[in-house]
């Protein structure tokens, strides 16, 4: 994108933010649903969404796929409007309701931290409002690549009451947060370059291993949660059963936990595919045409666990999927296994995690 287009996008986003802020929540949500469907090519990557849906739901015919695409784009439009009104949802004004249901014992009745994982479902930006009520939570997010839009989004997200950290700083921040007794939240339904290779929608794909490694290191559960649209101005956060680490440790334990997490997330998406914003590459081209019978059981992270780069790509955030150059973002980050292994080394040069 040229510098001029980049600046113009920021100006348009600022004007849209100002307009949506003065509209009531329901009116803003309805307006953006219609706007997004009409101007989808400017808001989402339609070709990528279509490819991901074909890979995940191969039995869909073209009319069904088109109808599903429209619902996904409309949901994303509503999300944009509701992000602007996060303070309204926090305060419970204008008839807005954000509550929790499901397996709430560990989240609200018991003490202890957790790693909360979710997908780009419903209004995922509202999930921290509920999960952060009991204890402080660190939420990992990705930059879009436009400074104006990134600043607008971050200013709204912080109003949920949670702490937000950009993914390039996520690993160290996550470990420090867990040591303080805080919880960590991230989105895990998008493909990363390094992680653990597991089965997702019957196909091999690489999923972040950060939740599993944190759970094993701090002996706490991974808790899947999803944002469910329960009606106009209502968001219900469905909390699923905790996934506890077993007694075993090592790479196989990381793989098992990651597969369990991916399976729960897949089930959530299958129940409500019309609210799954999947406009970022989920599978490589070879993965989209390959069954799980022949994929390698050796995680890519294990084959390159000594590589070092800057940042971390082991995580996604409760964040709008409109990031910048996806190829650049996916290859500039190191393996979580390296840092967790490095923590055990006796070296005066290791970072203070």
DSSP state of 208: -
User: 225: closest CA among 123, 80, 336?
Assistant: 123
106 compared with 338, residue with greater pLDDT: 106
Q: Which stretch of 138-142, 174-178, 204-208, 309-313 has the lowest confidence by average pLDDT? A: 309-313
CA distances 136 to 6, 112, 307, 329, Å, are: 35, 11, 33, 28
Share of the chain above pLDDT 90, in %: 58
> 115 lies in a domain?
yes
For the ranges 57-71, 135-149, 277-291, 305-319, the one whose mean pLDDT is highest: 57-71
What is the per-residue pLDDT for 39? 93
Q: Which stretch of 77-81, 165-169, 298-302 has the lowest confidence by average pLDDT? A: 298-302
What is the per-residue pLDDT for 62? 94
> 262 lies in a domain?
yes
> 84 lies in a domain?
no
What is the per-residue pLDDT for 343? 45
What is the per-residue pLDDT for 93? 92
> 11 lies in a domain?
no
> 195 lies in a domain?
yes
Residues 279-309 as b or e (16 or more Cβ within 10 Å = b): bbbbbeeebbebeeeebeeebbbeeebeeee
346: confidence class by pLDDT, cuts 50, 70, 90: very low
pLDDT tens profile 246-277: 888 889 999 999 999 999 999 999 999 999 99
Query: Which residues on adjacent β-strands are paired with residue 185?
Result: 116, 139
The number of distinct structural domains making up the chain is: 1
215: confidence class by pLDDT, cuts 50, 70, 90: very high
pTM of the predicted structure, to 2 decimals: 0.80
> 31 lies in a domain?
no
> 211 lies in a domain?
yes
DSSP state of 109: I
The parent domain of residue 206 ranges over: 96-342
DSSP state of 242: P
| Cβ atoms of 189 and 283 closer than 8 Å | no
84 compared with 4, residue with greater pLDDT: 84
> 104 lies in a domain?
yes
Q: Taking all residues of the chain, what is their mean pLDDT, rounded to a whole number?
A: 81
């Amino acid at each position: 994108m040229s510098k001029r287009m980049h600046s113009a996008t920021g100006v348009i986003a600022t004007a849209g933010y100002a307009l949506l802020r003065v509209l009531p929540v329901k009116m803003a949500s309805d307006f953006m649903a219609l706007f997004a469907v009409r101007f989808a090519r400017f808001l989402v990557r339609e070709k990528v969404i279509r490819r991901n849906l074909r890979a995940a739901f191969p039995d869909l015919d073209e009319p069904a796929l088109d109808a599903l695409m429209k619902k996904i784009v409309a949901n994303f439009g509503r999300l944009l409007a509701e992000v602007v009104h996060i303070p309204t949802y926090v305060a419970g004004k204008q008839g807005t309701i954000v509550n929790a249901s499901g397996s709430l014992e560990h989240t609200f009745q018991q003490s202890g931290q957790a790693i909360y994982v979710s997908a780009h479902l419903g209004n995922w930006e509202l999930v921290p409002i509920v999960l952060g009520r009991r204890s402080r939570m660190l939420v990992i997010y990705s930059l879009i690549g436009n400074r104006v839009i990134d600043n607008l989004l971050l200013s709204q997200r912080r109003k949920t009451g949670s702490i937000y950290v950009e993914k390039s700083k996520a690993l160290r921040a996550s470990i420090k947060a867990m040591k303080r007794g805080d919880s960590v939240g991230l989105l895990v339904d998008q493909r990363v370059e390094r992680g653990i290779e597991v089965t997702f929608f019957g196909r091999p794909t690489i999923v972040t291993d950060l939740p599993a490694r944190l759970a094993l290191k701090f002996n706490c559960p991974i808790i899947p949660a999803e944002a469910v649209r329960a009606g106009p101005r209502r968001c219900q956060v469905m909390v699923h059963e905790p996934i506890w680490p077993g007694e075993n440790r090592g790479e196989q334990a990381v793989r098992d936990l990651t597969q369990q997490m991916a399976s729960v997330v897949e089930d959530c998406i299958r129940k409500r595919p019309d609210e799954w914003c999947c406009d970022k590459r989920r599978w490589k081209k070879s993965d989209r045409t390959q069954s799980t019978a022949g994929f390698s059981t050796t995680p890519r992270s294990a084959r390159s666990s000594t590589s070092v780069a800057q940042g971390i790509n082991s995580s996604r955030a409760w964040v709008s999927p409109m990031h910048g150059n996806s190829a650049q973002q996916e290859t500039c980050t190191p393996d979580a296994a390296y840092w967790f292994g490095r923590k055990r080394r006796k070296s005066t040069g290791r970072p203070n995690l």
